[in-house]
Structure 1
Amino acid sequence: MKYHALIPAAGGGTRMGGGTPKQYLPLTGRPLIWHTLKTLTGVAAIDHVHVVLAPEDEFWGGYDWSDFKGRLTVWHCGGATRAESVIHGLRALQSLVAGDDWVLVHDAARCCLTVEHVGKLLAEVGDDPVGGLLAVPVADTLKRAQTDGRVAGTVAREGLWQAQTPQMFRYRMLLEALERMPEVTDEAGAIEAMGLHPKLVAADMTNLKVTWPLDLQLAEWILANRRQ
């Protein structure tokens, strides 16, 4: 049994604005995705890291990825959605992985992931029959909005968690689930649609996803202060 990391990175990051996909935005002197790759290639238990790019990606070749030589493979087979990119990436790995191997799917934009985060996920999910994901309990009061932007009601937060990545499932099970439910927004959702219940592994808010311009500043602060 082996562990493989799969990073869908075919999106354009339109909510960030500008013409550069967010995975290539500068962060402490490196492209954002470099920090994601540094963590995942630094986990000794992970056999190999795979990045799924858009077929027409013109940015990757402009950077130096030699730090990850021998630990990283790039696949130019990304799709129009995150789920499509993951499905295409999984299919590309078909001859390289066993059906029971673990696949850790991780957002390229979660660039503050740590080796400790991944280690906790492996330790708590490695023997699980279903799989699991990093997540954090919801702490804020949640409001449901009306179409006019006013509050429709308050949502009870008890038992609610905010999903993160990596999300870790067996190769065969994950591919089958995503092929059945390609419209899901994360891998756990596809597994849930099969009637299964992934395990929640408590992480923390530093494993944020860079979505808006301010998130990039937060990520830079986290990385800088973590080094100190």
Structure 2
Amino acid sequence: MPPATITEPRPGPRAVPAERDDIEAPVAVLVVAAGRGLRAGFDAPKQYRRLGGSPVLRQALTPFLDMPEIARIAVVIGAGDEARYAEAVAGLSDERLAQPTLGGATRQDSVRLGLEALQSQGFRGTVLVHDAARPFLSKALARSAVAAVRPGTVAAIPVLPVTDTIKRLDEAGRIAETPPRDRLVSVQTPQAFAFEPLLSAHRHAAAEGRAGFTDDAALMEWAGHPVATFPGEPANMKLTHPEDFVRAEAPGLPLVVRVGTGYDVHAFGEGDHVWLGGVRIAHDRGVLAHSDGDVALHALTDALLGALAEGDIGTHFPPSDPQWRGAASHRFLSFAAERVRARGGHIDFLDVTLVCEAPKVGPHREAIREAIAATAGVRIDQVAIKATTSERLGFTGRREGLAALATATIRLPEPPAPHATS
């Protein structure tokens, strides 16, 4: 799936202002937790049920609390759930987590009330609207949502390709149409919006008595705004039915550990800097490369692809393709990390050894770890960076270039063994 596409807007009564004059807009998160969750079959709203020892709502909040780029986190809860909410967030002493707002009769009402609360606090910028019943959100997907709203784009949503054939029924229950599957997607949250156009669209809908929008993207389409898409994650499932909780507590497939290795080398050439692990480091030489020549990210990309048994970096980003000339290598690592998540897996650890006489890696070690963690969507304690020389032996010892060796440890669902045949 391409990184972003645009869907044509449906005709609406009028389009609301869509100007963006703030490239580095502050980001707020609005978590919708006001529903009753009756289909889940419990005696309390599903967002407060414990999953793996922790309330679902708390798990839905955790990725955002770990993201310093999030300026404010607002939660909309149902009337009478104040005590449940307080128990779910107990111990989360983060000043960005605002007091909860009471929701309305429908999800649409609850989102509008949450937006009004943010507006009363003077917020403007980008807002992510997320369902509390999606506790498996990754920081990588959340960051993709933030990045998707940029000048010229006021609405963007995560989507997944539809793998089943979809039928549309007529009033008698007979098949009326089979839409082309390659044009269909399923939709997830967090959905990302420019704050003011979204609030204006909600206000217009409320004023005109328009209800029944199942997500905020549909409301924005009605208001006349095009909606962009970006790839979602299969693991970002919504807990709706009792069997969803059963699968979440005891997944059908066990996770098995896989380890992949990667190696990359680049010769020095003319230039005044090198890229290492996503960090630009001043140096008296550059590197000869088709992309930006970041040996650390290239080796890590190959390590992840190796653990997946999905080829190597050249398979997916061939140097013969001119679109990758000068490309930033964090795009390659991000792609490989997303491939892990797309297969329902987890990245456990990333380890890199850099081999060069110069530049010195030590002063930049923590910046490199942070950059790799952000790109791969993992914690910084899941990234190790080491550096060594080759004791003046070989091409690195002669200062002709630099090299990197990487190891990636991941966990993937193990498919059932094929049945033996006689």
Give the CA deviation at 1:150.
Answer: 5.2
Q: Report 1:29-178 matches (<5 A).
A: 29-57=53-81, 58-99=83-124, 101-146=125-170, 151-178=175-202
Q: Report 1:192-207 matches (<5 A).
A: 192-207=221-236
Stretch moving more, 66-75 or 188-197: 66-75
2:156 corresponds to which letter in structure 1? G
Aligned to 2:217: 188
Any gaps of 5 or more consecutive residues in structure 2?
Answer: 1-24, 256-345, 349-410, 412-422
Counterparts of 2:154 and 2:217 in 1: how far apart (Å)? 10
Counterparts of 1:147 and 1:181 in 2: how far apart (Å)? 28
**Contact 1:43–1:118 (8 Å) recurs in 2:** no
Give the CA deviation at 1:157.
Answer: 1.9
Classify 1:153/1:129 alpha carbon distance in 2 versus 1 (closer, same or farther; 3 Å). Answer: closer
Q: How many residues align?
A: 226
2:217 corresponds to which letter in structure 1? A
Give the CA deviation at 1:153.
Answer: 3.8
Kindly indicate whether residue 40 of structure 2 is the aligned counterpart of residue 16 of structure 1: yes
User: TM-score with structure 2 length normalisation?
Assistant: 0.50
Counterparts of 2:184 and 2:104 in 1: how far apart (Å)? 30
Structure with bigger gyration radius: 2
Counterparts of 1:118 and 1:76 in 2: how far apart (Å)? 22
Aligned to 2:246: 217
Counterparts of 1:187 and 1:22 in 2: how far apart (Å)? 21
- Higher-RCO chain (CA-CA 8 Å, sequence separation at least 6): 1
Q: SS state of the match for residue 206, structure 1?
A: coil
Kindly indicate whether residue 237 of structure 2 is the aligned counterpart of residue 208 of structure 1: yes
Give the CA deviation at 1:218.
Answer: 3.1
**Contact 1:38–1:68 (8 Å) recurs in 2:** no
Q: SS state of the match for residue 4, structure 1?
A: strand
**Contact 1:41–1:68 (8 Å) recurs in 2:** no
2:229 corresponds to which letter in structure 1? L
User: TM-score with structure 1 length normalisation?
Assistant: 0.89
Kindly provide the CA deviation profile for residues 62-88 of structure 1, in whole angstroms up to 9, marking residues without a partner as x: 345313532312323200111100101
Q: SS state of the match for residue 110, structure 1?
A: coil
Kindly provide the CA deviation profile for residues 91-115 of structure 1, in whole angstroms up to 9, marking residues without a partner as x: 111232444x111000000111000
Classify 1:47/1:27 alpha carbon distance in 2 versus 1 (closer, same or farther; 3 Å). Answer: same
Give the CA deviation at 1:130.
Answer: 1.9
Classify 1:68/1:151 alpha carbon distance in 2 versus 1 (closer, same or farther; 3 Å). Answer: farther
Any gaps of 5 or more consecutive residues in structure 1?
Answer: none
**Contact 1:131–1:169 (8 Å) recurs in 2:** yes
Stretch moving more, 179-188 or 149-158: 149-158
Classify 1:156/1:108 alpha carbon distance in 2 versus 1 (closer, same or farther; 3 Å). Answer: same
Give the CA deviation at 1:219.
Answer: 3.2
Q: SS state of the match for residue 147, structure 2?
A: helix
Counterparts of 1:175 and 1:15 in 2: how far apart (Å)? 29
**Contact 2:74–2:99 (8 Å) recurs in 1:** yes
Q: SS state of the match for residue 66, structure 1?
A: coil
